[in-house]
Structure 1
Amino acid sequence: MLELATGSGLALAAGLNAWIPLLGLGLLSRYTDLVTLPPAWAWLENGWVLVILAVLLSLEMVADKIPVVDSINDVVQTVVRPTAGGIAFGAGATSETTTVTDPATFVESGQWVPVVLGIVLALVAHATKAGARVVANTTTAGTAAPVVSAAEDVGSVGLSVAAVLLPVLVVPVLIALVVAAVLVWRGVRRRRQGRGAAWAEST
């Protein structure tokens, strides 16, 4: 089901950067024929909304590349990114795109379903990103923050584009996310266990 793949790709993109998929959807709908947003989500293509999203994106991109500030930003984004993921999934999965021509059938069971799916996917992607960022900052004393953040931004753009133009590519990304989430979770557990053992030895 291409609607599911499109929504999933946009939600995962929001888990990496909340504003890229929303800004992308709005711009594509306003200035191209690649995306036609349904009435419920047409506000995304409003000029003022696009300006606000662009400003928020600029602030996010700067904050996410500064060591320490990026960790604080991740805490704040724990609420923002899942919310953006819900919006991105809901808007993307119910829009007509070059690959999705009958999105209405996907949401016959309820308008809330895509939004909830987007929130969950974005939260998983965000948690995996935040966990990996902690490990990267710890092992490199924060010097990896700009590079990792830039890679995440590129990934968010790539996922957003793929979700609209070639949603089938989102499937392997979903699989990779599951694998990455498991690896990050194991790494965080090992670090906590190591700290616990060190604390026990010192006392």
Structure 2
Amino acid sequence: MNLPPQLDLPALLALAATLGLASGLRLYAVVFLTGLAGRLGWVELPPGLVLLQSPMVLGGSAVLMAVEFLADKVPWVDSVWDAVHTFVRIPAGAALAYGVFGGGDAQAWALLAALAGGTLAASAHAAKASTRAAVNHSPEPFSNWALSLGGDAFVPALLWLGWAHPFWALGVVLLLALAMVGLAWALWRFIGRLWRRGRPEPQR
């Protein structure tokens, strides 16, 4: 099996994992920052991700990143945005993870990376969407803004960790994925209780 020559296997796995997880939080920032890092020569992208550094992809992802940045700061608009992006973030996370291995003789690794990337994106997306939906029940906007800005800072930090310290990144991604699944489950139960509490009693 011939893997892409720029990175060894642990680094490629870390990159696939971080791209998958981060895509569930800020997909367009992931696409833009990864492409920009490759375009500026900060990192050497695997062949399957080189398309991200093209001017067209950089420009389109920059615009969408700005739109997402603004939408994520408005209570309830963020939840609508998350609902729509349920059908975007998960397959995109799988596609980005697949692209890490670039096809060729690494097809088996690429398929496994796609499955893992989609799963990680789904975990992150579910945790993000449920957290923001729960916070939106609060009348003050500051907790919403704090969570949004925290996500804005977390994604580039996670991408950097994936490039600079692959083994640490794999450990962090695994722990975060487990925590996010538990958080999403707990918050959806909480939201369900709020919804049932606010539902009018049936007439007898």
Rounded to whole Å, the distance in 1 between the matches of 2:36 and 2:201 is: 57
Distance of 1:42 and 1:199 partners within structure 2: 51
Find the counterpart in structure 1 of residue 101 from structure 2.
94
- Match of residue 75 from structure 1: 83
Q: Which runs of 5+ in 1 are unaligned?
A: 96-102
Q: CA deviation at 1:68?
A: 1.5
1:1-203 to structure 2, matched below 5 A, reads 1-38=10-47, 40-91=48-99, 93-94=100-101, 107-109=106-108, 111-170=110-169, 171-193=171-193, 195-196=195-196
Aligned residues: 193
Structure 2 length-normalised TM: 0.82
Q: Deviations over 1:103-149 (max 9, x none)?
A: 988x3525333223211110110011100111111134544222211
**Once the two structures are superposed, what CA deviation does each residue of 1:30-76 show, in whole Å capped at 9, x if it has no partner?**
221522331x4322111111111111101111111111211110011
Give structure 1 regions of 4+ aligned residues with deviation exceeding 6 angstroms. none
Q: Calculate the TM-score normalised by the size of structure 1.
A: 0.82
* Deviation of the 1:194 alpha carbon: 5.6
Q: Deviations over 1:12-47 (max 9, x none)?
A: 111110012211221122221522331x43221111
Q: 1:160 to 1:104 in 2, by over 3 A?
A: farther
Match of 1:100 in 2: none
Distance 1:190 1:75, change over 3 A: closer
Asked if 2 retains the 8 angstrom alpha-carbon contact of 1:67 and 1:143, the reply is no
What is the percentage of aligned positions where both structures have the same residue? 27
| 5+ long unaligned stretches in structure 2 | 1-9
